[in-house]
Chains A and B, each alone.
Chain A
Amino acid sequence: MSGLSKIVRVTAAVLMVPVSTFGLYVIMHGHLTPGGGFQGGAVLATISALFIIAYADEIKKALDVNLLSLVETLALITFISLAFLGLSTTFFSNFLLKAGELFNNPAVGINGGDLNTGGIIPLMNMAVGLEVFSALSLIMVLMYYGSKMEVPEDVS
């Protein structure tokens, strides 16, 4: 299958810019506004859905199943490692809060919306966003190509 018409493809490519900006915005502002890693990741994954519809088989190289699966695993490992790093106090402890430089004091009440106020929470949001983006993309890619693949019988 060769995908949809040129108009749709160009529109999908143009839409990638605002959609990814919005997705990254939701992830980055996870600790300040509604939303966060999961929601932003899901927004990002709509790009994959858009591209699969518009480009069909041609997207196979860009959305590689192996690569997506590796990214997903690494994002999960990052997430749990951040939780483990807090073990000097407790598991999941926010050890980067008030650490200076990039990690400022927490925002309380009405504030300027500075991004450097969440300690490890923005980092965890990024890991979750990456994981959700790659996992949802993986699901969509597998559902799209899986309908054409033959499932070989597992020996065991």
Chain B
Amino acid sequence: MINSEHTAIMLIAVPLLGAFTTAVFGRVSSSLRNIWVLAILASTELLAVLLGVNVLEKGINVYALGASFPTLTSPEGFPVRIILEVDAMNALISLIACTITLIVVVYCLGFMRESRVLDKAYTLILLLLTGMLGLTLTGDLFNLFVFFEVVSISSAALIAFYVHRGQSLEAAFKYMVISATGALILLFAVAIIYSQYNLLSMAALAASIKYTFLDEVALVLLISAFLLKAGSVPAHMWKPDAYGEAPAPVAVMLLTSALVSLYVLFRITYTVFNPVTPTIGWTLALLGVLSIFLGVSMALIQTKLNRLIAYSAIAEIGFILLGVGSSLTQSPHTSKVGFNALSGGLFHILNDVLDLGLLFLAAGAIYYLTRENNMNRLGGLGKTHPVLGVFFLIGLLAVSGLPPFNGFASKLMIYESVYFFNPLFAIIGILGSILMAAVYVKAFYSVFLGVFPPQELGQIPKSMLAAMGVLALLILVIGLYPATVIKYLITPAADALINPGDYIGGVL
């Protein structure tokens, strides 16, 4: 039907079309709408897989919008087109985003079954997916800003899903303010770059960057904008509110969008700027360590389950920043340790979204059963719902980095390579991981063991169990065969990230 060269743009266009048509189908019947949304997401997933295979086989995939043929990126030798540029790194992230959205929507079929605003919720979820895929695939700095805004607006509306609650509105407002600030910072950085080079294409910019003082300012602004969005330490305060007050599936989507903005951060630092000084790496690693420390220690004192997971999400972002930051201080082209740290950080992006996603979905199921978020008022769920307990336990062990789960593989890669770079950072990381286990064991104990609260509980819908089951299965498979995953998914991605020459060559 469609030429394979159009895969990249279809990946953005199909969920966008799905978002617009969902409201129309919702007027006809709700089951038709559910089938339609699932069909759109399944085809998006298929496109992501096709794109990934295409990139692995044929190298970088470039798409110029509105050109007379898809690969005409620089008419008359000058890169003016809005382009999408996909290498193994983008392909991996877009695959993760599509998979998680599909799982989340399957979960929503049960979780939000009785809601009256599902048309709008599905539309917003699809728009959020469009925004994330746009952020991932675009090769244009201004488009980056546009999709950043798409992600912000749709996430803010989704955070305010429980619109009758004051806290949800407050969390959504906080998120809106933070991301609007981030977007303005990003726009300012883009303006600085455009005023110097008359270029917006990331690849062309990478070829002509001169490391002037203004470039450094722009780099710092870009890093701050995407760290705001990712929620690393100096800008973490919106995260517990947003993740805690949003419905659990929305929290998983927010988590995915945070990881997508981390990817953009790495793309900008590695490919566009490719800094020669280790300062940026040191800063990122330091922020990572601070995030680990603060996230874990704040998670210890939480009583609300969602907020607890949200704080541990800050710590997990810290692990990724620690891995990638320490690889930035070394030269990953030559140093095996630096490459290992980078692969560990990228592998942890995948593992983080699976582990915390499973925990968030399990927390959502607990809320679905008991309408209760406070761990002090929960207990004994392990006797009535053992399957849910097993899912939570898998998430717990994976997120604490215990073998044979996926968190162990990536965290070990991060620890062993960071140890060469700075032993103290590695030790703080390991301590953070141990504390994480303590946090979650406490949570597991107070929710699933102990005294059963005197109330009748219903059953968990099958679609919710299926969604959690798929995540748990992925965690187990990746945990048992980490070498295969690293070989086929992570190493090509890390290779793509450290070789800006290929990225530039795709356009010029």
Residues of A within 8 A of B (CB): 69-70, 73-74, 76-77, 80-81, 83-84, 86-87, 89-94, 151-156
B23→A69 contact, CB < 8 A: yes
User: Quick one: closest B residue to A69, CB to CB?
Assistant: B23
A151→B65 contact, CB < 8 A: no
- From B24, B65, B68, A91 is in contact (CB under 8 Å) with B65
17 A-B residue pairs with Cβ-Cβ distance under 8 Å, sorted by A, are A73-B24, A77-B24, A86-B66, A87-B6, A89-B67, A90-B63, A90-B64, A90-B68, A91-B10, A91-B66, A92-B66, A93-B67, A154-B116, A155-B115, A156-B112, A156-B114, A156-B247
User: 10 closest A-B pairs (Cβ-Cβ)?
Assistant: A156-B115, A76-B20, A91-B9, A155-B114, A73-B23, A92-B66, A156-B112, A153-B164, A77-B20, A156-B114
- From B2, B17, B63, B65, A80 is in contact (CB under 8 Å) with B17
| Chain A residues positioned under 8 Å from B17 (CB to CB) | 77, 80-81, 84
User: Quick one: closest A residue to B116, CB to CB?
Assistant: A154
Q: A84-B13, A90-B66, A90-B69 are in contact. Are A154 and B115 (CB under 8 A)?
A: yes
User: Quick one: closest A residue to B115, CB to CB?
Assistant: A156
B301 at interface (Cβ–Cβ under 8 A)? no
User: With the chains together, A156 CA to B371 CA distance in Å?
Assistant: 9
Identify 11 new A-B residue pairs, CB closer than 8 A, beyond the known A90-B67, A91-B66, A151-B163: A80-B17, A89-B68, A90-B9, A91-B9, A91-B10, A93-B66, A154-B162, A155-B114, A155-B115, A156-B112, A156-B114
Closest Cβ–Cβ distance, residue B164 to chain A (whole Å): 5
| Chain A residues positioned under 8 Å from B68 (CB to CB) | 89-90, 93
- From B2, B10, B27, B164, A70 is in contact (CB under 8 Å) with B27
Closest Cβ–Cβ distance, residue A95 to chain B (whole Å): 10
User: With the chains together, A71 CA to B304 CA distance in Å?
Assistant: 42
A73→B20 contact, CB < 8 A: yes
User: With the chains together, A76 CA to B112 CA distance in Å?
Assistant: 26
B117→A154 contact, CB < 8 A: yes
Interface residues on B, range: 20 to 34
| Chain B residues positioned under 8 Å from A86 (CB to CB) | 66
- From A83, A87, A155, B2 is in contact (CB under 8 Å) with A87
Contacts of B67-94 to chain A: CB distance below 8 A? 67-70
B333 at interface (Cβ–Cβ under 8 A)? no
User: With the chains together, A153 CA to B23 CA distance in Å?
Assistant: 22
| Chain A residues positioned under 8 Å from B111 (CB to CB) | 156
| Chain B residues positioned under 8 Å from A70 (CB to CB) | 24, 27
User: With the chains together, A125 CA to B1 CA distance in Å?
Assistant: 29
User: With the chains together, A15 CA to B24 CA distance in Å?
Assistant: 34
User: Quick one: closest A residue to B8, CB to CB?
Assistant: A91
B21→A77 contact, CB < 8 A: yes
| Chain B residues positioned under 8 Å from A156 (CB to CB) | 111-115, 247
B398 at interface (Cβ–Cβ under 8 A)? no
User: With the chains together, A70 CA to B161 CA distance in Å?
Assistant: 22
Closest Cβ–Cβ distance, residue A47 to chain B (whole Å): 24
User: Quick one: closest A residue to B114, CB to CB?
Assistant: A155
| Chain B residues positioned under 8 Å from A154 (CB to CB) | 115-117, 161-164
Closest Cβ–Cβ distance, residue B174 to chain A (whole Å): 20
User: Quick one: closest A residue to B67, CB to CB?
Assistant: A90
| Chain A residues positioned under 8 Å from B67 (CB to CB) | 89-90, 93
B242 at interface (Cβ–Cβ under 8 A)? no
User: Quick one: closest A residue to B68, CB to CB?
Assistant: A89
User: Quick one: closest B residue to A131, CB to CB?
Assistant: B20
User: Quick one: closest B residue to A92, CB to CB?
Assistant: B66
| Chain A residues positioned under 8 Å from B117 (CB to CB) | 154
Contacts of B85-143 to chain A: CB distance below 8 A? 111-117
User: Quick one: closest B residue to A83, CB to CB?
Assistant: B13
User: Quick one: closest A residue to B113, CB to CB?
Assistant: A156
User: With the chains together, A151 CA to B160 CA distance in Å?
Assistant: 13
Closest Cβ–Cβ distance, residue B399 to chain A (whole Å): 26
B268 at interface (Cβ–Cβ under 8 A)? no
Closest Cβ–Cβ distance, residue B139 to chain A (whole Å): 15
B16 at interface (Cβ–Cβ under 8 A)? yes
User: With the chains together, A153 CA to B20 CA distance in Å?
Assistant: 26
User: Quick one: closest B residue to A91, CB to CB?
Assistant: B9
User: With the chains together, A125 CA to B99 CA distance in Å?
Assistant: 35
User: With the chains together, A155 CA to B23 CA distance in Å?
Assistant: 20
Closest Cβ–Cβ distance, residue B111 to chain A (whole Å): 7
Contacts of B11-44 to chain A: CB distance below 8 A? 13, 16-17, 20-21, 23-24, 27
Which residue of A76, A90, A154 has the most chain B CB atoms within 10 A of its CB atom?
A90
| Chain A residues positioned under 8 Å from B63 (CB to CB) | 90-91
